[in-house]
Amino acid sequence: MAFDEGLAERARAALAAAGYGGSTEKQMFGGLAFLIGGNMCCGVLGPDLLVRVGAEAGPAALAEPATRPFQMGQRGPSAGFILVAPDGTATDDGLAEWVEKALAFVATLPAKA
For 111, phi and psi rounded to 5 degrees?
-65, 145
- Segment 68-96, tens digit of pLDDT: 999 877 777 888 999 999 999 999 999 99
pLDDT score at 1: 60
In sequence order, the β-bridge partners of residue 6 are none
- Segment 41-76, tens digit of pLDDT: 999 999 999 999 999 999 999 999 999 999 877 777
Instruction: Looking at the chain, list the stretches that DSSP marks H as alpha helix, in order from N- to C-terminal side.
Output: 5-17, 58-62, 92-106
pLDDT score at 46: 96
Q: How confident is the model at residue 6 (pLDDT cuts 50, 70, 90)?
A: very high
pTM: 0.93
pLDDT for residue 22 is more than 90:
no
Domains of the chain by residue range: 5-18+26-87
